Structure 1
Amino acid sequence: MQRTDFGGMACSIARTLDVIGEPWSPLILRDVWAGFTRFEQIQADLGISRKVLTERLSHLVERGVLERRPYDRRPRYEYVLTEKGIQLLDVLMAMATWGDNWLAGEAGPPVLYRHHACGEISTADLHCAHCGESMHAGDVELLQGPGAAV
């Protein structure tokens, strides 16, 4: 089955989906963030087939989200987040906040986030980079940007 190429679209959401838009990629990034950096660890945690994991890891490395680093004399590698990958974690934290609000059920969220700066348990929240005020979809107007398709 041919995968749709979203990377050429004049839309930052579509371009992001081109990198992490299939279901395994965000889970792989989550695992690497949580400290599962070796192929066998990720495969065991996710229960993903070796073939699919190999394809997904290669894709994430090619896209500059993960980096392969040797950890053994044999050709064995661990995967680490690049700066690009670390910034993508903010997207995953926003997804987790939505999932906690709408899908966690009575048991509550499966993961809590302790903020290093203040030591408190918190959630991800969007703020305006200019004024610092809370910023949500209803608070903004969409304008055509310089990279828009004309």
Structure 2
Amino acid sequence: MKMNVFSPILVIVIINLLAGCQQDQLFFEHKNIFSANAAMAGSRINDGIPALFVQYESKGNNVFVECIVTGVTFREKDQSNKQVGKMIVWVDGKKSKEVSTAAFIIKDLASGNHKLKLEVVDLHNKPYGLSKEFMVNIPKN
């Protein structure tokens, strides 16, 4: 009986591919990505139309937030054609803080479920119409 040299290599490649897919699945279980319309996300970024994309991860009683905001800058001295703004963070319907960075941490949340809202506004708190709401669960220690 003749043994094919490629069979063991093929088995190893398939096992590695399956293991890699499981690692990606675990990564995406802990991170959530929101977009207003995922099908149009690429075209909206290229068109220059303002858009807000949010990714977050909770660790302990903190939530790490990363945003991609197109069409709006958080730098007041930016000389580009973008609109200048900031982000208001709401926790359970109450204003928590204002941030002027695309990545930030919401600290010291109590255990349980929390409704978070991120709203992009101009420097005078006039909304740009960009906001995202999502739920996070902070486990009991």
The TM-score, its normalising length taken from structure 2, stands at 0.28
Structure with greater helix percent: 1
Q: Which has the larger radius of gyration?
A: 2
The TM-score, its normalising length taken from structure 1, stands at 0.27
Structure with greater strand percent: 2
Of structures 1 and 2, the one with the larger relative CO (CA 8 A, separation 6+) is: 2
